[in-house]
Amino acid sequence: MHYQTGSGSCKVPLKRSVATDPMERIERMAAAHAVVIFSDSTCCMCHTAKRLFCSLGVSPVIYEIDQDPRGEDLSKALLRLHGGAAPVPTVFIGGRLVGAIDSVMASHINGSLVPLLKEAGALWL
Amino acid sequence: MASHRVGEPAALSDSGAPHHHHIPYAVPHMLHHPTNSNFINQEGPAFDFGELEEAIILQGVKINNDDKKQHLYTAIRPAATLDMFPSWPMRFHQHTTRGSSKSGEESTDSGSAVNTLSNTPESPSDHRQPPPPPPQMDAAGGIDSPRMSGLQSQPPAKPAPEKTLRRLAQNREAARKSRLRKKAYVQQLESSRIRLAQLEQDLQRARSQGLFLGGGGAASGSISSGGAIFDMEYSRWLDDDHRHISELRTALQAHLSDSDLRVIVDGYIAHYDEVFSLKGAAAKSDVFHLITGMWTTPAERCFLWMGGFRPSDLIKMLIPQLDPLTEQQFMGICSLQHSSQQAEEALSQGLDQLQQSLVDTIANGSVNDSMRHMAVSLGKLANLEGFVRQADNLRQQTLHQLHRLLTIRQAARCFLVIGEYYGRLRALSSLWASRPRESMIAEDNSCQTTSDLQMVQASQNQFSNF
């Protein structure tokens, strides 16, 4: 897992665009990697999402929005995007929105998650 | 004391229609059993053997054709009040009254015990109350059954012996008491009915206004009102489930067409969707009620996972029952089981983290900051609802995926198996709850348990038919 943090000390450099619309930021962040999870470090459901992808053998990129200086905007934008109960966790695969945890679970149960992951290059059989 | 009740076919039928017809046959039998009050008790608070017996005995003894004695055959009015069984014809006969002075007292309308108890404080005052007649036998008791009409025309004979008179008086007394009891019982029933209707109304109102959130006044015992409401809805859902299962079973046995089966199977899926929606609402109002499994039976509770069944366990149980499966179907179901396991594991780990975080918060709160600390704990606790909802979501998705993977006939069998499985689990809970505890009574009860076990085994044989 690769963590993106708002501060300078991070493993992967974060692009800084001060005046960017949060939605654009999200799209850019989502497109950058095969599997992207927007998360909150204190949220337990986000932990569930992370554990699920790990158990599939995937290494998602995690954005902890509570550690982002403009996390508030991101949170609102995420909520608008998928209209779920909570802004996090929100999952993108191959740059496309999968949704909140219930969508991820549903897609895993109906068998569509793994093909999606393979298509995005996150999983190799 | 004469009976004031003149004609009460409706009251006689209180215990059920058959009594109407059984009376002539019951009477000779009854005459051998002098314990009239006991008999009345057994029949319920209605049947008035006292007067009946009185009439028969008097008839047998041949009463004098006295003007006074004609009261025995006075007019029988139909029951005007408390017509509890309006569909049954209320028979009455008009018999000629011989103009006795007492007959005026008899003319009080009677429908039931309600108005005959002039001396009791509880009798409603809207019936005319006759003054209590003198206690000696004056044959003023009315004949309450039109079947006695055959006796009407017979000529009365000599006065009854002393012992018989005394017994008749006792009978009357017993009859009177039974009428009292019946009246009290009926009033109790009526008030209970009204109270029940009010309670249901209150529940509905409270529910629609969302007033059942958490603590406060409405908690009765240890179940919050949210939990109580869910229990009520769930028990209704269980009745529906029973109906659906029977429908599935008969549909499979009848070898209906696929399109007909599809309708029934879709109905069953919708039925399960409904319980998940009910649980969703319950999770909002009282997640602990769901998580602790107080809404389920003990055996189900034993296997509880996050407020319900564990989907991968259900699939594991189903696979051998669903034979024969195509290779593709078998792979699909195994993959479903695997995915479900992964999802369950992830949810369980998330819940573990929540619990750990909660423990930390509660343990490490400072005394000075207790309010904020409690608020933080409350916030964390609120996440429980999310986990139960995701678990239910997982269950729902699993059932839908099963439906997709199987042919319609296989799906029908599959859901029948699921329904029967949980039915048995519930039956097991009941058996367990009623099992013999002491070895002393083990012999008696073991026979009962054996027959219960045979019942379970019989249904299992039926199970293997599919």
Q: Which residues of A touch B354 (CB under 8 A)?
A: 44
Q: Which residues of B touch A85 (CB under 8 A)?
A: 386
Name the residue among A45, A55, A111 with its Cβ closest to that of B386. Answer: A45
**Does residue B93 have a pLDDT over 50?**
no
Phi, psi torsion values for A5, nearest 5 degrees: -120, 165
Q: Flag if A106 and B393 touch (Cβ within 8 Å).
A: yes
**Does residue B452 have a pLDDT over 90?**
no
Q: Which residues of A touch B387 (CB under 8 A)?
A: 44-45
Torsion of the alpha carbons at A70, A71, A72 and A74, rounded to the nearest 10: 100
| pTM, two decimal places | 0.59
Predicted confidence band of residue B378 (pLDDT cuts 50, 70, 90): confident
Q: Flag if B336 and A111 touch (Cβ within 8 Å).
A: yes
**Which string of DSSP letters, residue by residue, matches B289-343?**
HHHTTTTS-HHHHHT-BTTB--HHHHHHHHHHHT-S--HHHHHHHHHHHHHHHHH
Strands A35-39 and A61-64: parallel
* Stronger pLDDT, B374 or B29, i.e. the higher one: B374
Q: What is the pLDDT of residue B202?
A: 82
Using alpha carbons only, what angle is made at residue B368 by residues B364 and B371, rounded to the nearest 5 degrees?
80
Name the residue among B342, B383, B386 with its Cβ closest to that of A56. Answer: B342
Predicted confidence band of residue B456 (pLDDT cuts 50, 70, 90): low
Torsion of the alpha carbons at B321, B322, B327 and B330, rounded to the nearest 10: -80
Predicted confidence band of residue B21 (pLDDT cuts 50, 70, 90): very low
DSSP B65: -
Q: What ipTM score was computed for the predicted complex, to two decimals? A: 0.87
**Does residue B15 have a pLDDT over 70?**
no
* Stronger pLDDT, B126 or A16, i.e. the higher one: A16
Average pLDDT of the residues in B421-449: 74
Minimum mean pLDDT range among A59-73, B192-206, B283-297: B192-206
Nearest alpha carbon to residue A88 among A108, A68, A106: A68
Average pLDDT of the residues in B59-80: 50
**Does residue B146 have a pLDDT over 50?**
no
Average pLDDT of the residues in B71-94: 50
- Substitution target from B347, B351, B357, B399 for chain A, most A beta carbons within 10 A: B347
List of residues 6+ apart from B413 with CB closer than 8 A? B252, B321, B322, B466
Predicted confidence band of residue B139 (pLDDT cuts 50, 70, 90): very low
Q: What is the pLDDT of residue B223?
A: 64
